[in-house]
A and B are shown apart, each in its own frame.
Chain A
Amino acid sequence: MSKDWPLWEVFVRARGGLDHRHAGSVHAPDAQLALRHARDTYTRRLEGVSLWVVKSTDIIASDPAHAEEMFEPAADKVYRHPTFYDLPDAVKHM
């Protein structure tokens, strides 16, 4: 019987100019080993040029059960989208 090492979330930047994207997670005793495990687990085929690891317990997530009240305020603000504005055809490319 052993104790699980802490869980780390792994983010991979596929190539320069792109965001780091969540790829998965690894268990590791410390940050350096988490990086090594992340490399072996998620970049065996040149999937990345940069890695982030973050302790899973350090991530604060919103509650999906409250997704409605969390995101609903954006639903009735259609004027935030450019297509809301009906402009004369004479105004080209705006």
Chain B
Amino acid sequence: MYTTELDKNAARQAPALSLEDSELLAAFEARVANDEFIEPKDWMPEAYRRTLTRQISQHAHSEIVGMLPEGNWLTRAPSLSRKAILLAKIQDEGGHGLYLYCAAETLGTSREEMIDALHQGKAKYSTIFNYPSLNWADIGAIGWLVDGAAIMNQVPLQRTSYGPYARAMIRVCKEESFHQRQGYDLLLAMVNGTPAQKAMAQDALNRWWWPSIMMFGPPDDNSPNSAQSIRWRIKRETNDELRQKFVDATVPQAELLGLTVPDPDLKWNEERGHYDFGDINWEEFYAVVRGEGPVAKERMKARRKAWDEGAWVRAAADAHEAKQSRKRAAA
């Protein structure tokens, strides 16, 4: 799964630099421009640290919240095999969240602070998870489109300039391909099933297509941090470049399924060598970013419930540890 830079103003204030800092900054910029990796104990500008902390923690939150729309279907999977696959995928998403929280923690923010920010509604996560998963074909569409979009974004992040983030992305990308393929496989089974099953697959595509291509974030001319993030090699490609790549890769896959992409303006442009596609409803995107997504409240409620109901397990583990250390001390 994936998130994009959602909080547009946070990285903009540039504090005054001392002479020493400006020398360090110049050395830092040179290292990054030279494609060197920055590691946790290296000097880095505060804005770089802030931007990355925000981006990686949002990415981690997205993985964790991303378990919810799929978890919704676990007990209703149509076969044991599909259930086992879905369970494994959801477990992976949890794992991806953990890799990413660890990477974010190396920048000096604790896990506790990040999780509290999420639960208090102060942190963002990918807009895509605030849409409901209404039928079983949605599980296929999420794997194919949502994870597909995530892969498109995460592949270049494997070379992002911050070492721990890049290493987490390598691990994530290795596992993500299974997510997309199982989704496509699920949809293949449905389009080759009864007419009603095929209609469910089309319905899922109709609802997930636009939110998926919005996942790449605002258009480049309204993405003020992009230039800075690209200069610092946090990002390697712009939102619009990645979005175009995704559309180009995905449209033929929809055709192979015999499904119609819900965009009347979608057309191959011979001259550009890319698909042209219709205007994106950015009002909807910004509304979802503001927390007005169809199931935003339910998602946070479910997340907090899981956290609160797991509290006794954490308390028991603490009590066990305390007892063991008392025993060790007494021995």
A residues contacting B by CB (< 8 A) are 1-5, 7, 24-30, 33, 40-41, 44-45, 61, 63-65
21 sample A-B contacts, Cβ–Cβ < 8 Å, listed by A number: A1-B112, A2-B314, A4-B110, A4-B111, A24-B102, A24-B167, A24-B168, A25-B102, A26-B98, A28-B317, A29-B320, A30-B317, A30-B320, A30-B324, A40-B91, A41-B99, A44-B88, A44-B95, A44-B175, A61-B41, A65-B42
Check A41/B39 contact, CB under 8 A, given A2-B311, A2-B314: no
Expressed in whole angstroms, the Cα–Cα distance for A26 and B99 within the complex equals 9
CB < 8 Å A-B pair total: 52
Expressed in whole angstroms, the Cα–Cα distance for A40 and B324 within the complex equals 23
Within 8 Å CB of A40, what residues of B?
91, 95
Expressed in whole angstroms, the Cα–Cα distance for A77 and B116 within the complex equals 52
* Chain B contacts with A in 95-113, Cβ cutoff 8 A: 95, 98-99, 102, 105, 110-112
Expressed in whole angstroms, the Cα–Cα distance for A44 and B167 within the complex equals 17
Are A44 and B317 interface neighbours, CB within 8 A? no
The answer to whether the Cβ of B92 comes within 8 Å of any Cβ in the partner chain is: yes
Q: A29-B318, A64-B42 are in contact. List 16 more A-B contacts (CB 8 A).
A: A2-B314, A3-B112, A4-B110, A5-B318, A7-B105, A25-B105, A26-B102, A28-B317, A29-B321, A30-B317, A44-B88, A44-B95, A44-B175, A45-B175, A61-B41, A65-B42
Are A64 and B321 interface neighbours, CB within 8 A? no
Q: What is the minimal beta-carbon distance from B6 to any residue of chain A, in angstroms?
A: 25
Q: Which of A1, A29, A33, A63 contacts B41 (CB 8 A)?
A: A63
A37 closest partner in B (C-beta): B98
**Secondary structure of the B contact surface, majority rule:** helix
Residue interface mask B178-210, A partner, CB < 8 A = 1: 000000000000000000000000000000000
Within 8 Å CB of B168, what residues of A?
24
Q: What is the minimal beta-carbon distance from A20 to any residue of chain B, in angstroms?
A: 16
**Secondary structure of the A contact surface, majority rule:** loop
Are B95 and A27 interface neighbours, CB within 8 A? no
Q: What is the minimal beta-carbon distance from A1 to any residue of chain B, in angstroms?
A: 6
Expressed in whole angstroms, the Cα–Cα distance for A78 and B102 within the complex equals 39
Are B41 and A64 interface neighbours, CB within 8 A? yes
Q: Which of A28, A33, A41, A61 contacts B95 (CB 8 A)?
A: A41
Within 8 Å CB of A7, what residues of B?
105
